[in-house]
């Protein structure tokens, strides 16, 4: 079993290149991040080269974070801005050779939002050969987020009908809204591009909570890519890594 450190949460108190080195020292097999854009891509590329780690993915910018935005791709009338964030993410990903770009849809609802999201996803998929990911966020943490369920995501992926559009299956988000993780993982496997995890419901390390990750990881024993540890450590990241030794063995 291989694991990726999501540096949006893990070692988030350190500059991104330093966090990459920390992930290597801790024994992770890869890294991923949220919004690396304030760090020169050349610095991230150098840290990846020095550690031998790969960057699995990054997110498109959220928009006006202070104003409460959480993505732009489903916002009707904001298509130019949304596509600018997609282009920016692809350029950064190309520089550091990141495997995937998560296109964030934002807070929206209705037919116009659906059509806008589909259009922007077709733009993204047609602009790069890299994997484009979409991720349902749970209604408790992100009320009003356009993409809320795996069924909704599956329908959108089928409608866009591009081979590089995949589902980001976050066990935490799915666990909070849909449950039945192992069955859903098996059912959705053909369209999954990346898997993330955290405890349910507190989004901490995967060594407690409602989900027994020993069973989930056993079911994913043949998954070919590192699984993304996207949990909130609530303090010193290194102090939370007992699970990593346990599940790697």
C-alpha span between 82 and 41 (Å, rounded): 21
Catalytic residues: 135, 230
Strand-pairing partners, residue 195, are: 169
Residues with Cβ within 8 Å of residue 216, at least 6 apart in sequence:
171, 181, 182, 185, 197
C-alpha span between 220 and 3 (Å, rounded): 12
C-alpha span between 231 and 54 (Å, rounded): 19
C-alpha span between 217 and 223 (Å, rounded): 9
């Amino acid at each position: 079993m291989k694991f990726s450190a999501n540096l949006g949460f893990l070692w988030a108190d350190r500059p991104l290149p330093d966090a990459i080195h920390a992930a290597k020292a801790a024994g992770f097999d890869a890294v991923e991040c949220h919004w690396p854009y304030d760090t020169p891509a050349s610095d991230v590329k150098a840290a990846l080269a020095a550690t031998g780690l790969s960057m699995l993915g990054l997110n498109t910018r959220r928009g006006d974070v202070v104003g409460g935005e959480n993505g732009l791709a489903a916002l009707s009338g904001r298509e130019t801005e949304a596509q600018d964030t997609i282009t920016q993410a692809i350029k950064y990903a190309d520089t550091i050779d990141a495997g995937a770009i998560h296109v964030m849809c934002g807070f929206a609802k209705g037919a116009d939002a659906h059509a806008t999201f589909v259009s922007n996803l077709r733009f993204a998929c047609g602009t790069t050969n890299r994997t484009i990911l979409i991720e349902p966020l749970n209604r408790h943490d992100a009320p009003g987020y356009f993409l809320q369920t795996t069924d909704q995501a599956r329908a959108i992926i089928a409608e866009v009908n591009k081979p590089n559009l995949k589902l980001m299956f976050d066990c935490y988000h799915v666990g909070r809204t849909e449950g039945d993780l192992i069955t859903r993982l098996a059912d959705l496997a053909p369209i999954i591009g990346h898997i993330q995890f955290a405890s349910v419901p507190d989004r901490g390390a995967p060594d407690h909570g409602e989900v027994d990750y020993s069973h989930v990881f056993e079911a994913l024993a043949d998954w070919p890519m590192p699984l993304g540890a996207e949990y909130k450590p609530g303090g010193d990241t290194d102090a939370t890594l007992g699970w990593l030794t346990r599940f790697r063995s």
